[in-house]
A and B are shown apart, each in its own frame.
Chain A
Amino acid sequence: MKRAAAAGTLIPRNALVWIIISQFALLAPHLLRLPLWLVLVYLGTAVWRLLVFQGRASFPGRLVRASLALGGCVAVFLSYGNLLGLEPTVALLLIAFAFKLLELVKPKDAYVLLFLGYFICVIGFLFSQDILFVLYSLFTLVLVTTGLVALHRPREDHFRLGSLRLPALMLAQAFPLMLVLFFLFPRIGPLWTVPVKSHAAKTGVSDFMRPGDISELSQSDDVAFRVQFEGDIPPKSELYWRGLVFSVLEEGAWRSLRYNELPGLELRPPAVEPEGEPLAYTVLMLPTQQNWLYSLRYAQPAQRGILSTADYRLYSPVEIEEQLQYRVRSWPGTPLDPELSDWRRETELALPVQDNPATRALAQRLRDGAADSAAFVDAVLQYFRDEPFVYTLQPPLLTAENSMDQFLLQTRRGFCEHYAYAFVVMMRAAGVPARVVAGYQGGEINPVNRTVIVHQFDAHAWAEVWLEGRGWVRIDPTAAVSPDRIELGLEEAVAAEGSFLANSPLSPLRYRGVNWVNMLRLRYDALTYRWQSWVTGFDGEAQYRLLQDLFGSIRAPVFAGAILLSGVVVLVPVGWLLLQRRRPRPLPPEQRLFLEFCEQMRRRGMTRATGEAPGSFGRRVAREAPQLAGWAMQFIDAFEQLEYGGAPRDAAAYRQHLAGLRQQLRRVPGHRHQG
C-alpha cells in the first residue's frame, strides 16, 4: 500500500527530483550576485526534503517554518544592510523559493513552487539580457516545465532523464508563436518599474575627473558601446569619442559645467555650418546609469529624444538604464565655436588662485618664447616630448598640494588624464582658453561585421584649445608622450609594462594573440551586436519602424489583422502536424454503420453510453421504444454477426452482409419515439 500512497497523495519521485534540479539551475545565474550562504540554504532544504521523501525526517512544523522565514529575512538584512532594493528582494525571493521546498507536500504546493520558478526565470533578465543567458534561461524553462509534466505522471517513481523530451518538444512547438508575439505584440509602457538604479553602479566615464580615475577604468574589459558606420570606418587615430567636457577645475579635480551655472544664452550650442561630408553611424550603448552619450566631433542626433549641449556633446534627458541605440551624423571638419563669448572665454580660462606656482611659471616661460597661441601649444607638446615623460597605467600617487608641480617636475609618470590635466592648466595659465575632454579613443574593429567595439579600457582624456579663427582644436598631449596609444591602442602602448588587464587573467581580450581565440571572440561579439540591436534593442520604436516597413501606414485594423494572420500562419502548421499524428485510424465500415445507428437513436432521445455494448444498447432501445424493437434487434444481431461472429470473411459474403446492414439502417421506422 505504500506504493499506492505514493502514487496519488504525494509528489512522484521523478517530479521531486526535477523540481530540485530546476531550483539549483535557477539559482546558478544569481550566484555571483548573492551571498554564498544562499547555496547552503538550497543544499540544506534539498537534503531535508529528500530525507522527508525517504521517511527519515518529517516536514518542519509551524514554529520551525516561521523561524526559518524570519531567519532568512535577518540574514538578508545582515548581508545587504537593507531589505529593499533589487538585490535584497531577489535574495529574499530566492530564499522563499528554497524554503517552499519544505512545504512541498501535495501536488498543489508543487504548482506554487513551479510557477514561482517561472517567475524567477524572468527575474534573471533584470540583470542580464546576454544571448548566452537567454539560452540558459530557455534551458531552465525546459527544466521547470519538466517538473510540471512529471507532476502529472504519478506512476513515475524513478528519476528519468527522458522526461525532458516532452517539455522540450512542447516549448519547441511554442517557439514560432513566441516569435510572432515578440515582433508584433504591442509594446506597452511599463506599469511598474523596478528600482534598477539602486543596484547598478554607474559605469564608464564619470562627470568628475581626478588623476587616477581613468587608469582605474582601464582595468576593465567591459564593452562600453559598439558603433556601426554606414560608410567606411575612419582611421583609428581619428576616433575620439567625445562624452564629457570638463571646464571647471575645483579642489584638484575637473568637472563639467552644471546646467544652473550656464547663463541663458549659453544653454544651446551656437549654430555652426557643417563642413565636409558627414559620417553617419549608429551607436549601441550599454547601460551606464549616466546621461551623456558618445559621438565623434560635431555630432547631430538623427532621432528624437537626444539633445545637444552648448559644448557640442550629446545628452539624454533620462539616465541610460538599459541599452540604447541611437543614430548620429558627424562632421569632423566643422570648426566649433568660431566666436567665443566673453562668458565662455572667462570660464575656460579660470584657474584656482595661487596653486601650482611652478607650473604657471613654466607655462609663462614657454609662452614668452612663442610667437602666438598655436606656437605655444606646439612648444608645450614639444616640452612633453623632450623631457623624460612616461606613459604608464601605474602612475605614482600625486600627494603634494600642488599636484601638477609634482607631476611635471618630479614624477613625470602619468596616464592620459595626467597629461590632459597638466596641459590644460598650462594653457589656461598662459591665457589660452582650454578644457579637458573625456570619452573614449579608438576601439577595436570587428572584421566579422565591421563594427567598432569600444571597451572601457579605451577610456581617454584629451584637451581642446580655442585658437583664433579655428575655434576649438583638439590637442592630445598623450599622443606626444606615447604615439602608440593613439595609433595602436592601449595594449601596445603599455606592452613593455605588462599591465594591460593585469587584474583579469581570464579575459579573452588578453589572448588576442591566439588566432582562433580572437576569431571566436570577434564572432561572438558580432553575434552580440546583432542580438542587442535586434532582440534586446527591439523597443516600441524599432517595432514601429518594422511595421511601417512591412505595411506602410499603421492603422489599428491592419495591426490587429497582422497579429491574427501571423498567429494563424504559425499555428496552423503546428496544429496540422499534431492532428495528423492524433487522427484515429479510419473505422471499418460496419463500425461506421453502427455509429450511424447510434446517431439515429440519439436523435430519438436514446444515447448510447460510453462502454455500453451493442447488445445492451439494442435491448434498451427495444425496451424504451417498443415500436422499434424488432428492427433494432435485427440490426444489432446482424451487426454482431459481422463484427464479432466467426463467419469467414470472404470478400463477397462480407460485402453482401454489409449491404444488408446498410439496407436495414435505411429502413428505420419513420415515426417518432413515443415517450
Chain B
Amino acid sequence: MDTVGAIDDAVAEVGKALLGKEAQIRLALCCLLARGHLLIEDLPGMGKTTLSHALAAVLGLAYRRVQFTSDLLPADILGVSVYDRNDASFTFHPGPIFTQVLLADEINRTTPRTQSALLEAMAEGQVTVEGETRRLPQPFFVIATQNPIHQSGTYPLPESQLDRFLMRLQLGYPDPQAERRMLLAGAAQQSPEAALRRCLSPEELQSCRAAAGDVHVADSLLDYLQRLVGFSRERPEFAVGLSPRGALALLNCARTWAFMNRRQHVVPEDLQAVLPAVAAHRLVPSGDYAGDGHALVDLLQRSVDVIRP
C-alpha cells in the first residue's frame, strides 16, 4: 500500500471514533503531515479530545495529555529538578511535554504564563529548564483544544501564540445520521479511540513530508497566493493581514493537501481548501467590519480571482 493509501486509511480509522467529520479529520491530518501544531476550537462536548486522541493513536506516536487549569504552572508541563538524597544531587524529572504528541486540553483555561511555556517548545522543538536546554523527541506535535474565547474563565491566546498553530479547526455539531450512529454505539463503546489501530509508521510520516516537498508549485499559483495575501494587507476590512509566516503556512498546507489528493502539483482548489483552517485565526477584522476571521476568509475567496489579477 502506498503512503497516500495509508493516509486515507488513517482518515477512515479516525472516522470510526469521530463520526461524520471526515473533512475536519483530513485537514487535521494534513496539518500534522505538514509538521504543524493543531488547535481545535469548539464548545465543550463536541469531540475535540476524541479527535486529538484518535489522531495520536493512528499515527502510532507516544502521547501524553495535560489538562490545563488555571492553577497549572510551567513546571507542571516542562518538568522539575528534584534533590535526590541518595545521590546528593539534583535530578531532572521530565514533565509531560517530553513526548511525541502533547494533547493540551483546554489550553485557554490556564494563565498566560503557562501558555507561553509551550511557546518555545512549539517553535523550536526544545525546552529550557533551569538554564539547561533539552531537546524534545522527534516528531513533536502539540494538539491543543480550546473553548471559544467568549466562554467564562478563559485567557485568550495572544496573536503571537495563535500564529504558532499551523491550523485551527472547528468541529461543529454532527449531522443527524452521524449523531444517531454515535448515540447507538455510545452505550457499547466507552472510549472508541482506544481501539484504533495504527495506520502510519514514523518512516511513512517522514516520507510524506519529503513527498509533499516535491509537489510542484507553478508561478501562476504563487501569483494567486500573493494576490490573496496582498488583498488581506490592503483592504480596510482587515486590521491584521496575513504575515509572511502565514503565507508560508498556506503554501505548505496546500502542498500537503495536493499530495494527499494524489496530485503532483498544487491547484488553486488546494489552496482554497486549506485557507479557512490556516488563515482564519491569523486574520483580525478591523473595527467596523462585522464579521470574524471566517467571514474574512470568505471575503478573500470571493474577491480575489484565481486567474486574472
User: A residues near B, CB below 8 A?
Assistant: 1, 3-9, 154-155, 584-585, 587-588, 591, 594-595, 609-616, 640, 643-646
Q: In the complex, what's the smallest C-beta–C-beta distance from A203 to chain B, in angstroms?
A: 55
| In the A-B complex, the 10 residue pairs with the closest CB atoms | A646-B216, A8-B288, A4-B239, A613-B268, A5-B287, A4-B287, A613-B269, A644-B218, A615-B269, A8-B287
Inter-chain contact A610/B287, CB cutoff 8 Å: no
Q: In the complex, what's the smallest C-beta–C-beta distance from A635 to chain B, in angstroms?
A: 14
Contacts of A1 in B (CB 8 A): 239, 287
Complex formed: what's the CA distance from A646 to B263 in Å?
Answer: 10
Contacts of A3 in B (CB 8 A): 239
Inter-chain contact B305/A9, CB cutoff 8 Å: no
Complex formed: what's the CA distance from A8 to B288 in Å?
Answer: 5
Inter-chain contact B268/A614, CB cutoff 8 Å: yes
- Complex interface residues of chain B between 272 and 294 (CB less than 8 A to chain A): 272, 284-289
Inter-chain contact A610/B303, CB cutoff 8 Å: yes
Counting CB contacts under 8 A, is B309 at the interface? yes
Question: Number of B residues whose C-beta is below 8 Å from A?
Answer: 29
Q: A9-B287, A640-B267, A644-B218 are in contact. List 6 more A-B contacts (CB 8 A).
A: A7-B236, A8-B236, A611-B305, A613-B268, A615-B267, A640-B265
In the complex, 28 of the A-B residue pairs with CB atoms within 8 angstroms, ordered by the A residue number, are: A1-B239, A1-B287, A4-B239, A4-B286, A6-B287, A7-B288, A8-B286, A8-B288, A8-B289, A587-B307, A591-B308, A594-B307, A595-B307, A595-B308, A609-B302, A610-B303, A610-B305, A611-B304, A613-B272, A614-B306, A614-B307, A615-B269, A640-B265, A644-B216, A644-B265, A645-B216, A645-B218, A645-B265
Counting CB contacts under 8 A, is B27 at the interface? no
Residue of chain A at shortest CB distance from B224? A613
Complex formed: what's the CA distance from A9 to B303 in Å?
Answer: 23
Inter-chain contact A7/B286, CB cutoff 8 Å: yes
Contacts of A646 in B (CB 8 A): 216, 218, 264-265
Contacts of A6 in B (CB 8 A): 287
Q: In the complex, what's the smallest C-beta–C-beta distance from A2 to chain B, in angstroms?
A: 9
Residue of chain A at shortest CB distance from B221? A644
Counting CB contacts under 8 A, is B138 at the interface? no
Residue of chain B at shortest CB distance from A3? B239
Complex formed: what's the CA distance from A8 to B309 in Å?
Answer: 26
Inter-chain contact A584/B308, CB cutoff 8 Å: yes
Inter-chain contact A9/B288, CB cutoff 8 Å: yes
Contacts of B266 in A (CB 8 A): 644
Inter-chain contact B269/A154, CB cutoff 8 Å: no
Per-position contact with A for B241-270: 1 when CB-CB < 8 Å, else 0? 000000000000000000000001111110
Contacts of A587 in B (CB 8 A): 307-308
Counting CB contacts under 8 A, is B220 at the interface? yes
Q: In the complex, what's the smallest C-beta–C-beta distance from A155 to chain B, in angstroms?
A: 7
The listed residue (B287, B300, B304, B305) touching A7 by CB distance below 8 A is B287
The residue among B216, B218, B266, B285 with the most chain A CB atoms within 10 A of its own CB is B218
User: B residues near A, CB below 8 A?
Assistant: 216, 218, 220-221, 236, 239, 264-269, 272, 284-289, 300-309
Complex formed: what's the CA distance from A155 to B237 in Å?
Answer: 10
Contacts of B272 in A (CB 8 A): 611, 613, 616
Complex formed: what's the CA distance from A3 to B238 in Å?
Answer: 11
The listed residue (A4, A7, A9, A591) touching B307 by CB distance below 8 A is A591
Residue of chain A at shortest CB distance from B266? A644
Complex formed: what's the CA distance from A585 to B302 in Å?
Answer: 22
The residue among B236, B239, B289 with the most chain A CB atoms within 10 A of its own CB is B239
Q: In the complex, what's the smallest C-beta–C-beta distance from A582 to chain B, in angstroms?
A: 11
Contacts of A612 in B (CB 8 A): 306
Contacts of A611 in B (CB 8 A): 272, 300-306
Contacts of B300 in A (CB 8 A): 611
Inter-chain contact B285/A4, CB cutoff 8 Å: yes
Q: In the complex, what's the smallest C-beta–C-beta distance from B157 to chain A, in angstroms?
A: 15
Complex formed: what's the CA distance from A535 to B216 in Å?
Answer: 67
Complex formed: what's the CA distance from A612 to B268 in Å?
Answer: 9
Complex formed: what's the CA distance from A591 to B286 in Å?
Answer: 35
Complex formed: what's the CA distance from A610 to B272 in Å?
Answer: 13
Residue of chain A at shortest CB distance from B272? A613
Complex formed: what's the CA distance from A591 to B223 in Å?
Answer: 13
Complex formed: what's the CA distance from A614 to B218 in Å?
Answer: 15
The residue among A588, A640, A643 with the most chain B CB atoms within 10 A of its own CB is A643
